[in-house]
Amino acid sequence: MSRPILHLQDQGSGTPALVILHYFAGSLRSWLHVTGDLSHTFRCLRIDIPGFGRSAPLPAYSVDAVAQVVATLIAGLRLDSYVLVGHSMGGKLALACAAANPPGLAGVVLVAPSPPSPEPMDEGERSRLLATHGDRASAERTVRTIARRPIPMADVAICVEDNLLTSPEAWNWWLAQGSREDITAEAGRVACPVLVLGGSDDPVIPPHVIAAEVMPHLADAYHIEIAGAGHLLPLEAAQEVGDAIRTFVALPCRRAGAGTAHP
C-alpha cells in the first residue's frame, strides 16, 4: 500500500531544519507567525498531519501509524540535521517519531504537549467534542476556551476553518483513542535533548500535567513556562516560542537553563 502524501510547506534555509507538527483540529497554518520569524535563520518545514488541514486521512489510525507516516516523510527529505517540533497532539506524535532516534535528529521541542501517558482530558469536554464535529459554533467556542491571551480575529478565523476541515476519521480517532494511548515506554527511549514549553494558564495541558505526566518520562529535558499564556502558544506567544526554539537550537539543543518566560 502506498504511503499518503502529506501537505507540506517549506520556507527558509539553514541547519538544523525545523520540522513542525500542529495541534489537534489545527493545521500547519497555526505556526505561520513563528516560522515567519524563524525562517530567516532556519529551514522550516510545516506538516499537515494525516486527516488535518490539506492532508488526506489514513485508512486506520494509531499514534504509531501516524508517526510512521510522518517519519517516512522526514526520512525522504534527507535532512542532515533537524529538530522536531510538536504542539499538543503534535507533541505526542513528535515523541513517537523521536523514540526511534532516527539519523539527523538533533532535538525535540514540545509545545503544550499532549503527554505520552493518557491525556487527562475532561470527559465532559471529550463528549462535547465528539458530538459536535463540523459545528462552527462549537469550533468558535473551543478557540475561546483554550486561549488565554488575545488572538487576532484573522487567526481565530483560521483556527475555526482548520477545525471544520478536520476529517471525521482523524477527529474521532484522536478524541476516542489517540489521546488515551500510552507511549511512555517509547518516550523514555528518546535520546536527544528535549525542550518543553507550556503556558502558565493553559486549561488543556496545565503546568501540573507537564510536571507529572511529561517531564518524568524524558531523559534529557527542561521546561520553560510562558506566563499568562493558554494552549495556543504558537498564536498567543509566537515571539516567546520562537525565541525559546532559537536559543535551544543555538546551544546547540542543549540545556540553556530552566526558568519561566514572561510576556
User: Is 203 among the domain residues?
Assistant: yes
Which CATH number covers residue 135?
Answer: 3.40.50.1820
Single pTM value for the model: 0.94
How many structural domains are present in the chain?
A: 1
Domain residues for the domain of 199 are 8-261
- Degrees, nearest 5: CA angle 154-210-144: 25
User: Is 110 among the domain residues?
Assistant: yes
Q: Identify the H or E element spanning 35.
A: helix 32-38
C-alpha distances in angstroms, 79 versus 11, 135, 257?
Answer: 14, 39, 28
User: Is 2 among the domain residues?
Assistant: no
User: Is 127 among the domain residues?
Assistant: yes
Average of pLDDT values for 123-144?
96
Decide: residue 220, CB within 10 A, 0-12 exposed, 13-18 middle, 19+ buried: middle
Q: Give tens-digit pLDDT for 70-96.
A: 999 999 999 999 999 999 999 999 999
Q: Give tens-digit pLDDT for 175-193.
A: 999 999 999 999 999 999 9
User: Is 32 among the domain residues?
Assistant: yes
pLDDT value at residue 254: 54
User: Is 1 among the domain residues?
Assistant: no
